[in-house]
Structure 1
Amino acid sequence: MTPEELFAQLRREPDVEAPDLVAVDATDRLLLDEAAPYLPGGPGTVVVVDDAYGALTLGAVTAGASGVRVSQDLLVGEQALAANAGRTGLAGTYRSLPLDAGLFAGAGLVLAKAPRGLDALRELTELTAAAADPDVVLLVGGRVKHMTLGMNDVLRAGFGEVSATLARQKSRVLVARGPRPDVRPTFPRCRRDADLGLDVCAHGAAFAGTRVDAGTRLLASALAGAAPDARTALDLGCGTGVLAASLARSRPGLAVTATDQSAAAVASARATLTRAGLERVAVQRDDAAAGVADGSVDLVVCNPPFHLGAAVVTAAADRLFAAAARVLRPGGELWAVYNNRLPHRAALRRLVGPTRVAAADRRFTVTVSTRPLTKVPGPGGR
């Protein structure tokens, strides 16, 4: 199978499909072209990090790599890769693993999509330098407009030789060789938040890192009045676990679950909760609470994302609001926080139920939405 024959079969599903959205981009193609001199690799020597939909993994397999190991932060990426592997007859040609030293052990070639945050790149650099083969080549590809000189500096902290390819179709690849012998992994990192009295732990790709963003802080301060009779609670899109920790610590009898589709978020939340002595909180990697039973939760808390890439959108939040409505029991409450300029209050009324403002400042609003005790008739009266 040629690369183009492979690429023609790839799809984004279960992620959004649209004519202007692609499953293979210019960065994927450039990374695979730069990797070609090192392929085929020996068993277990090729590692792929944050493959969006499978182009890098399956492209490497098609080029002759065997024993490919893959780590993808977003669950939807794992699901898309699995679907594409089945579609192209390449199921079973790779292994999905967590982003840790075991993923990189003995690796001779690492292909990675450039993360937006420097901490995510720093964690990738540390793990590769510490665990991979001494002759490893690390290729990090991204869109030129998103790549900075700071990325070169991060790579140089772990490697003796760092260079950049020429740009092609607005993409570029950074090439790192010669791992420094004294590099050791430093993630997750933890920092004390004095106001919350909580050590916040974060892996490199976790949103906000060890900081507590202003929206989460406002929501946490308002939760004392949330569903006082609740027995079960869900932190939906839990990030580093700050809201789950706040609930579990203040209400010892509350059964709290925290979910996120990001592997970095789940690992970070577990670290935060363990450090706080709150191992009783169940932390699960899950997309929009897909593994949570309908009508099984009394209280949902949520600080939804409002960016997809660089664009400000509402679709991601609406999807979480709809998930909250599904898992809430009748009379249950969703406590959400969002930027004041976003039109979420109307969506919350439509998707969940009656909504009121519980707290606000100059940037953020906290609302409480209550799932009706009976189903509200639709426009047709049914």
Structure 2
Amino acid sequence: MDRAPVSHAPVDREEVLARLRRDPDVEAPDLVAVDATDRLLLDTAAGALAGPGRVVVVDDSHGALTLGALASGATDVRVHQDLLVSEQALARNAERTGLTGRYRSLPLTAELLDGATLVLAQAPKALDALRELTELAAAAAAPDVVVLVGGRVKHMTLGMNDVLRTGFTDVSATLARQKSRVLVARDPRPGVAPSFPRCRRDDALDLDVCAHGAAFAGTRVDDGTRLLATALAGAAPGARAAVDLGCGTGVLAAVLARSRPELAVTATDQSAAAVASARATLDRAGLGRVRVTRDDAAAGLPDASADLVVCNPPFHLGAAVVTAAADRLFAAAARVLRPGGELWAVWNNRLPHRAALRRLVGPTRAAAHDRRFTVSVSTRR
């Protein structure tokens, strides 16, 4: 049963937003805790936030939307953040601003959207992520719900409007402000039903790949993962425990577990969509013995507990190309590997990862490469 909304004294929104930080997320030039899209979404929703209603916030990067909504007068706020580090940043920022306990975090399911009258969402990179949200909102939200999806103009496409129209009859766009824009969807279509996770057969890997909307590459196996998967036959032949670090849809974990039944495999990712997708992929392959966890950079795994780590690290944070996210995963691999254990990683040839791998893990060599990607093997010192 939902808790009854509790009234609180008003809080100055600008004062709240000024106190937000990215911590514990990666810091890099041009990365901020509150951006122009957050502010445009909050301004567009200001009238609805000041009145009664059930507010749902989706993919709030560091808490600006959630805490800004609370400061604007919202009393019933539910939140879904795909990335664990975003959940952690929101929690820390709520503590900084005295707003701890004023919102509820939930998975991306019908329960999250049940009876929602307002949805605030940062536009996802993948259209399927927007499609999953659209289906859930159309099926579960209140008939008078207003869905606001904001993003940078240069990253928004007409395809986003088309996706929203699959769930709503009235879709429009606000004027741009500070290079951001908000899409507005109203009037849910009847009969819309959730369709995720979706699965597709990969004949080359003899594997059904299942994915929720926000999972990287969806049901497709990206080229880097495919190159690494084909190179793993010779990886750490005496290994007893392996970790798929940043597992995505679980393809590498499935390849390892299926080819080496004696190997104890853990798949871990900080993305809720990735974890749910990996579980679906592994269950469909009859590999339910693989442990799947949501974790940030393997923080929940013991030191020196694995003989083999496989990793296809991200190289984007939002729209920025940075190496900090990959370096965190390489450092995590070094921590969980036993001395002599191996990190098998794949990365774009133009990225300077070899030096970081040598510094953070140990001696590094190339095991495979093609025109775009290199598979490297780093041995833990």
**8 Å Cα contact 1:248-1:254 kept in structure 2:** yes
1:27 counterpart letter in structure 2: T
**8 Å Cα contact 2:20-2:33 kept in structure 1:** yes
Q: Deviations over 1:165-217 (max 9, x none)?
A: 11111111111000001111111110000010100001111111100011111
Q: Deviations over 1:119-154 (max 9, x none)?
A: 111111011001111111101111111111111111
Q: Distance in 2 between matches of 1:333 and 1:88?
A: 43
**8 Å Cα contact 1:10-1:23 kept in structure 2:** yes
Pick from 111, 121, 134: which aligns with 1:125? 134
1:315 aligns with 2:324: yes
1:175 aligns with 2:181: no
**8 Å Cα contact 1:40-1:66 kept in structure 2:** no
The match for 2:70 is: 61
1:234 aligns with 2:243: yes
Q: Distance in 1 between matches of 2:354 and 2:16?
A: 44
Q: Deviations over 1:241-272 (max 9, x none)?
A: 00000001111111100111111111111110
**8 Å Cα contact 2:311-2:344 kept in structure 1:** yes
1:15 counterpart letter in structure 2: D
Pick from 24, 33, 39: which aligns with 1:14? 24
**8 Å Cα contact 2:357-2:364 kept in structure 1:** yes
**8 Å Cα contact 2:240-2:262 kept in structure 1:** yes
Worse-matched range after superposition: 344-353 or 32-41: 32-41
1:146 counterpart letter in structure 2: H
Aligned to 2:74, the other structure's residue is in SS state coil
1:253 aligns with 2:265: no
The match for 1:52 is: 61
2:316 counterpart letter in structure 1: H
The match for 1:144 is: 153
Q: Distance in 1 between matches of 2:199 and 2:13?
A: 43
Worse-matched range after superposition: 107-116 or 18-27: 18-27
Pick from 24, 40, 55: which aligns with 1:30? 40
Matches within 5 A, 1:153-192: 153-192=162-201
Pick from 349, 369, 372: which aligns with 1:363? 372
Closer/same/farther in 2, CA of residues 21 and 336 from structure 1, 3 Å limit? closer
1:39 aligns with 2:41: no
Aligned to 1:39, the other structure's residue is in SS state helix
The match for 2:96 is: 87
Ranges in structure 2 where 5+ consecutive residues have no aligned partner: 1-10
TM-score, normalisation: structure 1: 0.95
Q: Deviations over 1:8-35 (max 9, x none)?
A: 1111111134675321111111111111
Q: Distance in 2 between matches of 1:360 and 1:228?
A: 21
**8 Å Cα contact 1:152-1:162 kept in structure 2:** yes
CA positional deviation for 1:77: 0.7
Q: Distance in 2 between matches of 1:337 and 1:16?
A: 21
- CA RMSD in angstroms, aligned pairs only: 1.2
Q: Distance in 2 between matches of 1:342 and 1:48?
A: 35
Pick from 282, 288, 300: which aligns with 2:291? 282
Closer/same/farther in 2, CA of residues 235 and 11 from structure 1, 3 Å limit? same
Matches within 5 A, 1:201-350: 201-350=210-359
CA positional deviation for 1:370: 0.8
Q: Deviations over 1:255-303 (max 9, x none)?
A: 1001111111111111101111111111111111111111111100001
Moved >4 Å (runs of 4+): 17-20
Aligned to 1:270, the other structure's residue is in SS state helix
**8 Å Cα contact 2:173-2:183 kept in structure 1:** yes
Q: Distance in 2 between matches of 1:294 and 1:307?
A: 27
2:64 counterpart letter in structure 1: A
Q: Distance in 2 between matches of 1:84 and 1:267?
A: 27
Aligned to 2:45, the other structure's residue is in SS state helix
Ranges in structure 1 where 5+ consecutive residues have no aligned partner: 373-382
**8 Å Cα contact 1:101-1:127 kept in structure 2:** yes
1:3 aligns with 2:7: no
Aligned to 1:122, the other structure's residue is in SS state helix
1:4 counterpart letter in structure 2: E
Matched residue count: 371
Q: Distance in 2 between matches of 1:10 and 1:312?
A: 23
Worse-matched range after superposition: 309-318 or 259-268: 309-318
Q: Distance in 2 between matches of 1:57 and 1:191?
A: 35
**8 Å Cα contact 2:26-2:325 kept in structure 1:** no
The match for 1:352 is: 361
